[in-house]
């Protein structure tokens, strides 16, 4: 039986209370059975979520061998019956009433190919507020990508499943498995396939910031893998940008990622040879020095400093403090 929206929730050894909070925020919302389905994809966890799932019989449970976050999402995509796809990570939540808003958007005659919405960070586990409908506007993807710093998280979008299918100009789109920057690679390719996008300022998604998550780990081996995966992401998007006319709209995002990569290396104090080789690699692709027009006014001083050897030395000292006050990458 087909449905309107498939909500895909990857799971891997998450605390039972966090998983319960996630499922309560998503599955318990007031929508009809034929309007939404909920897929919990167990990515080879050591602990079973069975004790929690028995309280949520409407959630479909699928277990697979470990393939990473991207692989779990791919499995969800492949078994999904919805016309639209949405992702929620199993330690995060969505606002009460948000599913009804999303369902109504999907049903609307003027709905775009993609809906994107507001995000709120929280340090309180399982926190989710009540949904408040705000303003929304529909733009062409071309206009959106040329004027907006594209947010990477796939959890901030609801999109037509058909965008993932192969057609004359595009191959089938899926997440790269066992990859730390799967969203940075996936989301730009998703958005550039669409014609229109609806931007809502309503807060739908609550992101729980916890220690030990993929985005907060910073040990040496993990850091090196993050840096190498981000370099690979930049290279893959750059190649796509030069082979597909529509993909040229991704140039702003590629330049943004390039700066994030370099700023991350400075912040974490990678050795000078690694950093210099990275700058040479970017320069060959005309991605460095950074163009200050590609960023907001608040970041221009960082772009200016990163373009100069003496500026990089200053950032080695001050960037960690700036990052603590207002994260920029």
pLDDT of residue 321: 73
Nearest to 117 by CA among 208, 204, 8: 204
Residue 212 has pLDDT above 60, yes or no: no
> pLDDT tens digits, residue range 133-181?
999 999 999 999 988 889 999 999 999 999 999 987 789 999 999 999 8
Q: How confident is the model at residue 61 (pLDDT cuts 50, 70, 90)?
A: very high
pLDDT of residue 324: 65
pLDDT of residue 96: 95
pLDDT, greater one: 91 or 300: 91
pLDDT of residue 305: 92
Could you tell me where the DSSP H helices lie in 15-66? 16-27, 50-53
pLDDT of residue 2: 86
pLDDT of residue 247: 79
128: how many CB neighbours lie within 10 A of its CB? 24
Lowest mean pLDDT among 34-48, 64-78, 255-269: 255-269
Residue 203 has pLDDT above 80, yes or no: yes
pLDDT of residue 309: 93
pLDDT of residue 248: 84
Q: How confident is the model at residue 1 (pLDDT cuts 50, 70, 90)?
A: low
- The number of angstroms, rounded, from the C-alpha of 243 to the middle of its chain's C-alpha atoms is 24
Tell me the backbone φ, ψ of residue 136, rounded to 5 degrees.
-145, 150
Domain layout of the chain by residue ranges: 3-208, 220-325
What b-and-e string marks burial along 250-287, b requiring 16 or more CB atoms within 10 Å of the CB? bbbbbbbbbbbbbbbbbbeebeeeebeebbebbeeeeb
**pLDDT (mean) for 13-37:** 95
Using CB atoms within 10 Å of the CB of residue 244, give its burial: 0 to 12 exposed, 13 to 18 middle, 19+ buried: middle
CATH 3.30.1370.100 is the classification of domain 3-208: no
pLDDT, greater one: 324 or 226: 226
- pLDDT above 70 as % of the chain: 94
pLDDT, greater one: 214 or 181: 181
């Amino acid at each position: 039986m087909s449905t309107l929206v498939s909500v895909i929730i990857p799971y891997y050894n998450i605390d039972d209370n966090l998983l319960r909070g996630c499922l309560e925020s998503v599955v318990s919302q007031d929508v009809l059975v034929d309007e939404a389905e909920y897929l919990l994809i167990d990515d080879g966890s050591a602990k079973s979520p069975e004790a929690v799932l028995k309280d949520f019989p409407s959630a479909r449970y699928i277990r697979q061998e470990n393939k990473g976050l991207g692989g779990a999402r791919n499995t969800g995509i492949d078994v999904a019956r919805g016309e639209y796809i949405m992702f929620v990570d199993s330690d995060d939540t969505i606002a009460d009433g948000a599913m009804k808003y999303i369902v109504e958007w999907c049903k609307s005659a003027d709905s775009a190919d993609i809906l994107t919405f507001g995000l709120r960070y929280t340090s309180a586990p399982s926190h989710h507020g009540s949904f408040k409908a705000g303003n929304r506007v529909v733009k062409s993807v071309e206009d959106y990508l040329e004027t907006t710093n594209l947010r990477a998280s796939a959890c901030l979008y609801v999109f037509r499943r058909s965008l993932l299918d192969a057609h004359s100009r595009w191959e089938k789109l899926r997440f790269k498995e066992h990859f730390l920057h799967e969203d940075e690679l996936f989301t730009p390719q998703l958005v550039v396939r669409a014609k229109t996008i609806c931007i809502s300022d309503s807060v739908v998604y609550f992101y729980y910031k916890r220690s030990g998550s993929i985005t907060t780990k910073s040990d040496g081996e993990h850091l090196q893998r993050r840096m190498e995966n981000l370099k690979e992401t930049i290279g893959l998007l750059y190649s796509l940008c030069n082979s597909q006319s529509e993909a040229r709209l991704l140039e702003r995002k590629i330049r943004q990622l390039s700066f994030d990569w370099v700023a991350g290396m400075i912040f974490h104090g990678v050795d000078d040879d690694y950093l210099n080789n990275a700058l040479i690699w970017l320069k060959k692709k005309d991605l460095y020095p950074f163009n200050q027009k590609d960023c907001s006014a608040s970041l221009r001083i960082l772009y200016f400093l990163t373009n100069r050897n003496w500026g990089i030395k200053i950032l080695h000292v001050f960037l960690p403090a700036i990052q603590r006050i207002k994260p920029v990458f």
